[in-house]
Amino acid sequence: MADDYVRRTAITRLSVDGKQRELLEETISEWKRGCQLATDMAWGKCNAKSDVQPLAYDDVREQTGLGSQHAILATHQAAQAITGCLERRSNGKKISKPTFTAPTVKYDTRTMTLFDDDTVSLSTTESRVRCSLALPDADDGYQRQYLDSDEWSVTESTLTARDGNYFLHIGFRRPKTDTERNTAEDGTVLGVDLGIENLAVTSTASFVSGREVTHDLREFEKVRAGLQQTGTRSAHRTLERSSGRELRYIRDVLHQASNAIVDEALRYECDVIAFEDLTDIRDRTGASWGHKWAFRMLYEQVEYKAEAVGVSVKQVGSAYTSKRCAECGFTADENRPNRNDFCCQKCESEANADYNAAKNIGMRYVRRGQQSSRRTGNSQLALKSGTVTPSGGFTAHPDGFETEFTDKPHPQRAKSSD
């Protein structure tokens, strides 16, 4: 079973020549067509892999250039996408049929082979291509701990085209040890709250400012709206250039922010980074479509960077995390008089509202462990001053640890992660 394995992803750029580039582009294009075809056939009929594959396989093979194994994988991808839609609908969300536009293609051990000389063979619509992995010059790149180890085996991977380059997200897995089966999701938890004023705040009082991102997203949206209204061919080209600049800028900001969050988890020796469920984050925060996209990308960046260093990333329910007092548990709308401040009407505890939410998010994951038969219930929440358990047990950080021994954040001296 999947739960019996530890899974990691190693990302590396591929070195490709002109012909290889053409074949990979064609394969990505046909992959998207195959996934869409299978989805169109199965939508409203079935969503299990075992049902979608026999329904759509022959048509995918006949109407696309995909090989037999990639056709099977395309039907599985369609089944997964449809299942995701049905799960959202069960939560009361309006859904529409999935569409496949991302420049990606899935690979498994039948369509991809890794070699000891740091090359990879990939199936395409015509023939296999053998490309070099553009690994760091030094032998201590994080990818080496998986590529050079007999302990880790290759599993399903994803090829992604981005900015003219090709990146292979290589999946690895190894069996869990007996200890990991019992405690893989226990340990020290870092809570993270996402928002507008602060892009991210951790339960250890690390603040990543969101003001600059919010300002620039609004400016981008104004420019985009104006160009779309103009509707000329020149405006369309300008819009494409503007969107490209926006994408590069936001990616750079999110890259720095995700590094800061993972660094914070490592600094406090956390085993898990807990985010709130992102499904309704736009409604909860009043975020624009751009913010929602940025939150999702930030989460995904933290996820793969954290997993690369052995830290799990999870989501928990978001209900009342912004209105619940992290000190006494009292929950009321009046606790949060405005976007930035939190003042408990019961115990009179005061805090930055996002910081209070980050602690609630982290503690919700800790408490969930106490109710799970698969976990030991020995989790603890990482704070700026130490760690705390649901029962109130507190362990201060060792002397000499660079931290203030207080959990009351002060904006004028809040640590910046920019």
Q: Provide CB contacts within 8 A for 349, sequence distance 6+.
A: 325, 326, 327, 328, 342, 343
Contact 202, 358 (CB under 8 A): yes
Contact 81, 39 (CB under 8 A): yes
Is 362's pLDDT higher than 90?
Answer: yes
Angle at 89 between CA 83 and CA 92, to 5 degrees: 155
**Do 155 and 204 sit in the same domain of this protein?**
no
**Do 61 and 111 sit in the same domain of this protein?**
yes
**Do 197 and 286 sit in the same domain of this protein?**
yes
| Secondary structure (3-state) at 379 | coil
| Secondary structure (3-state) at 361 | helix
In a domain, residue 141? The reply is: yes
In angstroms, the CA 95 to CA 5 distance is 32
**Do 89 and 194 sit in the same domain of this protein?**
no
In a domain, residue 165? The reply is: yes
Residue 29's pLDDT is what?
96
In a domain, residue 232? The reply is: no
Q: Among 175, 196, 227, where does a domain finish?
A: 175
Question: What domain count does the chain have?
Answer: 2
**Do 265 and 277 sit in the same domain of this protein?**
yes
DSSP letter at 277 equals: -
In a domain, residue 293? The reply is: yes
Residue 115's pLDDT is what?
94
**58-70 pLDDT, tens per residue?**
999 999 999 999 9
Is 147's pLDDT higher than 70?
Answer: yes
| Ramachandran area for residue 180 (φ above 0: left; ψ -120 to 50: alpha; else beta) | alpha
Mean pLDDT of 40-67: 94
**Do 145 and 84 sit in the same domain of this protein?**
yes
**178-216 pLDDT, tens per residue?**
665 555 466 889 999 998 888 899 999 899 887 766 666
**Do 270 and 131 sit in the same domain of this protein?**
no
pLDDT band at 42 (very low <50, low <70, confident <90, very high): very high
- CA distances (Å), origin 31, targets 45, 160, 373, 415: 22, 12, 40, 45
Residue 189's pLDDT is what?
93
pLDDT band at 45 (very low <50, low <70, confident <90, very high): very high
Total Cβ atoms within 10 A of residue 154 = 19
Residue 41's domain spans which residues?
5-175
**Do 183 and 107 sit in the same domain of this protein?**
no
**Do 121 and 42 sit in the same domain of this protein?**
yes
Q: Among 151, 175, 199, where does a domain finish?
A: 175
Which CATH number does the domain housing residue 306 bear?
A: 3.30.420.10
Is 284's pLDDT higher than 60?
Answer: no
Residue 368's pLDDT is what?
79
In a domain, residue 298? The reply is: yes
In a domain, residue 163? The reply is: yes
pTM of the model: 0.54
**Do 166 and 253 sit in the same domain of this protein?**
no
**Do 201 and 100 sit in the same domain of this protein?**
no
Mean pLDDT of 216-229: 61
User: Mean pLDDT across the chain, nearest whole number?
Assistant: 80
Angle at 7 between CA 3 and CA 12, to 5 degrees: 160
Residue where the block lists tokens 């690979």: 107
**391-418 pLDDT, tens per residue?**
777 777 665 454 443 444 333 333 333 3
In a domain, residue 78? The reply is: yes
In a domain, residue 228? The reply is: no
**Do 88 and 13 sit in the same domain of this protein?**
yes
